[in-house]
Structure 1
Amino acid sequence: MSQNKRTKDTFPESPEPYWRDFITLPEFPQLEDNLQVDVVIVGGGITGLTAAYLLVKEGLKVAVLEAGKLLNGTTGHTTAKVTVQHGLIYDEFIQNIGKSRTRLYYEANAEALSFIRKTIEEHSIDCDFSEQDAYIYATTEHYARKLEKEAKAYAKLGIDGGLVNNLALDIDIQNGLVMKNQAQFHPVKYLARFIDVIKEKGGLIFEDTTAVNVKTGKEPVVFTRKGLEVTGRYVLVCSHFPFYEGKGFYFTRMHAERSYVVAVKTKKHYPGGMYINAEDPVRSLRSTMMNGEEIVLVGGESHKTGQGTDTMAHYKALETFGDELFGIDRVAYRWSAQDLVTLDKLPYIGELTSGEANILVATGYRKWGMTNGTAAALLLRDYVMQQETPYQKLFTPSRFYLHPSLKNFLVENANVAGHLIKGKIEAPNRKMNDFANDEGGVVIHKGQRKGVYKDKEGALHVVDTTCTHLGCEVEWNDGERTWDCPCHGSRFSYTGEVIEGPAETPLQQHDHHFLDNFTSEDSGY
C-alpha cells in the first residue's frame, strides 16, 4: 500500500478494510458434488464460523457454504469492538421489553465477550486482543439527559459503569458514560484459528458457493446456484440477510444501514479506550496496531442503504473529524459496512419460521456483531444440541413486542413505499457526455431509467436500475462503485451482480448492441 504524505481529500482508491491486509487466509474450493452432513451452515462470517467451530467440537459433520470469500462481508468490515455497550439501548429496552428481558440481552452478550476472551486464551490466538473501557459521550444537553437515564439502567441491571465528566479525548462533552472491562481485537486473526480447528476436526468449507433456496422437511436440502444439493439435519442461515426467508418476510421486519470507516495515522497519540457519541452523525473511535505503528479507526456517518448523500462525503466528514481531533498524517484505509436493524432492535436468532425447528436463522445485529454474532452462534449450537436456554424466547424471530415493533413496522414500510414511488417518478437530467472516467449515475434512455458507470478506461457499463427484489430503483454509490437499493438494502456491483441480499438475481445488463445506440443525443428527454 502506498504510504504517500496525506493531501487534502485524498483517500485510498479502493474501499478495502485493514483487517484483510497483511494476513493470508486459506482458500477453499467451490462445491462440486451433492453432499450429506449433519449441519449445513450458510455464511462464512463470525456467526457461521463460530457456530461451525462449536459444532465440530461436538462431533458433528458440518459444511460451511460461503457465496464469496470467508470473512469478506460485514465481519471483515467491522470496527471490531468487542463490547456489550451497544449505544443508548438499555434504558430503551427496559421501557419496551422490561427489565428481565433486558437483563437477558446483556447476559447473552456478556457471555459472548467472555467466550471470546476464554477462547483466545485457550488457543493462544495472537489477534491484538486488549481490554478497553467503552465510552458513550454527549455534546448536547438533550443527550446528556439521555445518558443519565442510561446510567440508571446500568445500575438497575448491575452493569459495571457509570457517568463521567470528561474524556481523555480533546472533546468538550456535556456528559459521558463508561462501561468497564470491554475489549477490542483483530477479527480476521481471531477467526482464522476457528478455520484451522474446523478443518482439523473434519469440517468442510466451500467458497464461491452461493446458496439460493431450501427444501424443507425432516432433512432439509440447501440448493446452490449451480444446482447442487447439500442435505443436513439442520440448516443454519448465517448469511447476514437471510438468503432464504421461508414465510418470515424478513425484508419487512428489518432495514439496512451503511456506515463508514477511515483508518488514519495521526500526529497526536491516541489515549486508549473505545468511544462513540450519542448524537447524529455518529462518530466512533478506537485504535489498533499496523506494522508496529498505531492507527486510529474513525467510524460513523450511518444512513439507510441507498439513502445517503454523495458517498465520498461521508468519508471526508470522518477525515475532517479525525484531523481536528488528532491531526492526520495519512489515510491508510477506508471502507464501509452494511448492518441490519430489526423492528425492536433485538437480533432475530432461532427458528426461521415458526414450526420449522431444523432451519435456524441469525440476523439483525444492529452494528454490534462481534458480541451479538458470537451470542447467536452459541445459541444456534444450543438449538442443534437440543439444549434449552433462557435466551431462546428473547431472540426468537417469531416474537412481536407491540411497542415499538408496530410503530417501527409502519414507519419502515412507509419509508419503503416513499422510495419506491420516488424512484419511479424522479427524472434525472444527466446525459452520457456528462460522465467522466470512473464516474456513475442515472440517466433516462428512451423513457427508461438506466444506470451508467464509465470505468477508468472509459468503457461504459449500463444496467437497468430496477432492483430485482421488489422493483425499487437503485441509486449510485460512488464511494464503493455499487448500485444500492433504498428500499430493502440490496446492493449490486457496477456490472449488476448481487453483492448483498435480499435480491437474489442480478440487475439486467445491456450489451454492446444497446451501447451502440446509446448516444448523447438520446440519453435524456
Structure 2
Amino acid sequence: MDTIWEKTVDMPSYPPLKGTKKVETAVIGGGMAGILTAYFLAREGREVLVLEADRIGSGQTKGTTAKITVSHGLIYEKLIREVGKDQARQYALMNQTAVRKYKELINDLQIDCDFKECDSFLYSRFRDEALKEEVHAAQSLGLPAVFADQTELPFSVAGAVRYAGQARFHPLKFLKAAAKGLEIYEHTMVNEVEGNRIITEHGTVEAENIVFATHYPIMNRPGYYFLRMHQERSYVVALTGTEQMEHMYLGIDAGDSLSFRSYGPYLLLGGGGHRTGENPLGGQYEMLKLTARQYWEHCRVDTEWSAQDCMTIDSIPYIGYYSYSRPGWFVATGFKKWGMSSSMASALLITDYIIERNNAFSHVFSPQRLHVKASAKALTKESAQTARGFILERFKIPKEEADQLKKGEGGLIEYEGKKAGAYKDENGEVFVVSLTCPHLGCVLQWNPEELTWDCPCHGSRFDYKGNLIDNPAKEDLTHEQPACISGDKEKEGIL
C-alpha cells in the first residue's frame, strides 16, 4: 500500500539522464539525504546534479514516520561508555543542530509541510533505571532531557525520557520544496562508478565529487560497508478513530517497542521490527492492528507500510569519505531508524567536506573510524550472520514442492535438481526465481508479510516476480524457467 505521505502529496516528475554530463558534484540518490546535500551545495554556488533510480523520495524517505529528533533510543549512555564523552557530545550536538536546521529552513523558505514542534518520549512500561541513566547521560552532553512518569499513552508507564523542542512533519512535502530548482534526473539507475565516472543505462556523468546517498552503498569496494552493517525492517499502520497525541513516543522494552505519532486525523502506530531476511512467520501488521484495537476498539486502518534501515556495528552513521583511496567519493549511510535527523546531519557534514569548511562534529561520523569497544562484538555477530546466509543454500533441505504450495504462499522448492524460490498467487499461478542474491550470493528468505524475497546478509529485497525493491543489489533476480507456471501446468506434472 502507499504510505500516508504518498497519499497526501503530488510529487513533481523529472526526466531521465540522457547522454554525457560533466559537473562538479553528482549526488546518487534522491531521498532526503541526497536532496538536502544537493540543496546546500547549490546554495553555496556549487554545480550539482542528482541521479535517482526511481522517483525522488520513493525509497526509504517515503516510509519514515518523519520524527525529527535527537532521541535515538537509549543511545547516549551507550556512546559515553563505548566511544567516550567527547565523541558522544559530537553525536548529540550534531543531531541537535540537524533538528534546529529543519526549523530554520522551513521558516526561512516558508515551506508548507505540516511541521509541528513537540516533545519526544522514550518510554518503558516495566523499568525506569535505564531511563534515568539515559537522562543523566543526555543532560551531561547538553541535551534537553528530563525524566517523566506521565504520558498521553493509553497505558501506564514506569517512566520516560522526555526531550523538549523536537518536531515532526510531512517528509515528502518538505522534499518537494527542497528539490525545487535542482538539476534532477529520475528513472536513472546507476550501474557502475569508475573513478570520477558514473555509468547509467542511458548516459554517463563525470564529476569531481560523487556523493553516495543511496541508503545502502551500491559499491562494495572500496569501503566494504557490507561487512559493517545489516538492515532491519519495521512496520506502520495509519489509524483513524483513535485519540490524537500531541507528542511522539517510542518504547524501549524488548518485544514492545511501539512507536506513536499523530499526523492530521491519523495516528501512526509502528513496531514489529526484525532483521531483514528473518521473518518466516510474518504477522507484523496483524499484531499492530490487534494492539490498536486493544486501546481503541473501533479504530480503522487507512493504510499500512514498512520501512528498512541500515544498522552500523557501533550505532553511529557513516558520513564522510567513502574510502581513503577515493578522495572524491562521499557516503551517507547507517542511519539506524533515525533518517530525518541523520539526513540533515549528512547533508551539512558532506557539504562542509566538499567546500572545505571545517566542521567540529565530523570525526565521530567518519566511515574510517575504529571504535574497538563499540564494534568488536557486533562485527563478530555480523560476520556469523553473513556466513549463515551462505551456508543455508548448501544444507537447508527444501520443505515444499510447488504443487504443495497453497495460494498466496511462497517457499523453497526443488526445481530441475536445484533449489529455487516459488510463490503461488491467488489465481494458482506459480512464479519461480533464483534464491541467490545478485549482490554477493547470499541465499534469499521468504517474507510472508510482504510477499518478498529478502537477503538475510545485507538486506536486498525482491518482489515475488524477482524485481529489485531495495539495494545494495543493483539488478533483478534470475528467473528460473519457466518464470511463471499456471495451475493447469502444475497438474500436467511440470513441477
TM alignment of 1:200-279, pairs within 5 A: 203-216=182-195, 220-224=196-200, 226=201, 228-267=203-242, 269-279=243-253
The code of the aligned residue for 1:244 comes to M
For structure 1, which runs of at least 5 residues remain unmatched after alignment? 1-14
| Inter-partner Cα distance in structure 1 for 2:493 and 2:125 | 51
Between the aligned partners of 1:457 and 1:65, the Cα distance in structure 2 is 38
Equivalent position SS for 2:352: helix
Distance apart, 1:214 and its partner CA:
1.5
Residue 455 (structure 1) aligns with: 425
Distance in 2 (CA, whole Å) between partners of 1:300 and 1:271 is 17
CA distance in 1, matches of 2:325, 2:385: 31
Per-residue displacement from partner, 1:268-292 (whole Å, max 9, x unpaired)?
x223210111112221000101xxx
Rounded to whole Å, the distance in 2 between the matches of 1:523 and 1:79 is: 46
1:285-296 aligned at under 5 Å gives the runs 285-289=260-264, 294-296=265-267
Q: Where in structure 1 do 4 or more consecutive aligned residues deviate above 6 Å? A: 520-524
2:410 is the counterpart of 1:435: no
* 1:168 and 2:138 are equivalent in the alignment: no
Cα displacement (A) at 1:148:
1.6
The structure 1 residue matched to 2:254, chosen from 255, 266, 280, is 280
| Cα shift readout 1:371-412 (whole Å, capped 9, x = no counterpart) | 011100111111111111112221110111111212211111
Say yes or no: does 1:102 pair with 2:77. no
| Mapped contact 1:347–1:395 kept (Cα < 8 A) | yes
SS in 1 for 2:367: coil
Q: Which residue of 2 aligns with 1:195?
A: 179
Kept after mapping to 1: 8 A contact 2:35/2:178: yes
Show the counterpart of 2:355.
385
3-state SS of the aligned residue for 1:37?
strand
Q: Is 1:82–1:183's contact at 8 Å kept on the other side of the alignment?
A: yes
Match of 1:115 among 101, 124, 146: 101
What's the CA shift for 1:522?
A: 6.8
Partner amino acid, structure 2, of 1:272: E
CA distance in 1, matches of 2:491, 2:402: 5
Relative distance call for 1:381 and 1:328 in structure 2 (3 A) is farther
One-letter code of the match for 1:207? E
Shift, 1:227, TM fit: 5.8
The whole-number CA distance in structure 2 between the counterparts of 1:439 and 1:386 is: 54
Alpha-carbon spacing, 1:76–1:513, altered in 2? closer, same or farther (3 Å) = closer
- Which AA in structure 1 matches 2:273? S
* Residue identity matched to 2:270: G
Q: Which residue of 2 aligns with 1:3?
A: none
* Residue of structure 2 in register with 1:372 after alignment: 342
The equivalent of 1:45 in structure 2 is: 31
Provide the C-alpha distance between the structure 2 equivalents of 1:438 and 1:308, rounded to a whole number of angstroms: 16
Matched, 1:308 2:284: no
Matches for 1:347-362 after TM superposition, within 5 Å: 347-362=317-332
- Percent sequence identity is 34
Q: 2:453 aligns with which of 480, 483, 487?
A: 483
Deviation of 1:191 (Å): 0.9
**Structure 2 CA distance for aligned equivalents of residues 251 and 486 of structure 1:** 12
Superposed displacement of residue 92, structure 1: 0.2
Change in CA separation of 1:460 and 1:514 when aligned onto 2, cut-off 3 Å: closer
Aligned pair count? 493
| 1:310-329 matches, cutoff 5 A | 310-311=281-282, 313-329=283-299
Maintained 8 Å contact 1:446/1:523: no
CA 522–140 in structure 1, closer or farther in 2 if over 3 Å, else same: farther
Cα offset for 1:515? 4.4
> In the aligned structure 1, how far is the partner of 2:350 from the partner of 2:248?
29
Match of 1:56 in 2: 42
Residue in structure 2 matched with residue 12 of structure 1 by the alignment? none
Equivalent AA in structure 1 for residue 389 of structure 2 = H
Structure 2 alignment gaps of length 5 or more: none
Match of 1:85 in 2: 71
Report which stretch shifted further, 332-341 or 416-425: 416-425
Are the aligned partners of 1:443 and 1:523 in contact in 2 as well (CA < 8 Å)?
no
TM-fit CA distance, 1:229: 1.3
Give the counterpart letter for 2:276 in structure 1.
Answer: T
Whether 1:297 and 2:268 are equivalent positions in the alignment is yes
**Deviation of the 1:455 alpha carbon:** 3.2
Query: In structure 2, what is the Cα distance between the partners aligned to 1:318 and 1:513?
Result: 35
Do the aligned partners of 2:432 and 2:482 also contact (CA within 8 Å) in 1? Answer: no
State the one-letter code of the partner of 2:424. K
- 1:483-506 Cα offsets, whole Å, 9 max, x none, are 101111111122212222222232
Q: Distance in 2 between matches of 1:331 and 1:111?
A: 35
Q: TM-score, normalised by structure 2?
A: 0.95
* Match in the other structure for 1:156: 140
Given that 2:29 and 2:53 are in contact with CA atoms closer than 8 Å, whether structure 1 keeps it comes out as yes
**Structure 1 equivalent of residue 305 of structure 2:** 335
Q: Return closer, same or farther for 1:215/1:227 CA change in 2, 3 Å cut-off.
A: farther
For 1:52, what is the secondary structure of its paired residue?
Answer: helix
User: How many angstroms apart in 2 are the aligned matches of 1:440 and 1:208?
Assistant: 30
Give the letter aligned to residue 177 of structure 1: V
Deviation at 1:58, TM superposition (A): 1.6
Call closer, same or farther: CA 1:65–1:448 in 2, change over 3 Å.
same
Using the alignment, how far apart are the partners of 2:491 and 2:61 within structure 1? 42
> Which residue identity is paired with 2:355?
M
Q: Deviation at 1:521?
A: 8.5
Counterparts in 2 of 1:34 and 1:304: CA distance versus 1, 3 Å: same
The amino acid of 1:265's aligned partner reads T
SS of 2:299's equivalent in the other structure is strand
Change in 2 beyond 3 A, CA 1:168/1:227: closer
* TM-superposed deviation, 1:523: 8.2
- Amino acid aligned to 1:459: E
Query: 1-side partners of 2:6 and 2:386: how far apart?
Result: 34
Letter in 2 for 1:72: S
Q: Which amino acid aligns with 1:157?
A: L
1:184 to 2:154 alignment: no
Mapped partners of 2:47, 2:297: distance in 1: 52
Q: Deviations over 1:10-52 (max 9, x none)?
A: xxxxx32110113111111111111111110000100000011
Report the secondary structure of 1:408's partner residue.
Answer: helix
TM-score, structure 1 length as denominator?
0.90
Rounded Cα–Cα distance in structure 1 between residues aligned with 2:109 and 2:427: 48
| Aligned Cα root-mean-square deviation (Å) | 1.9
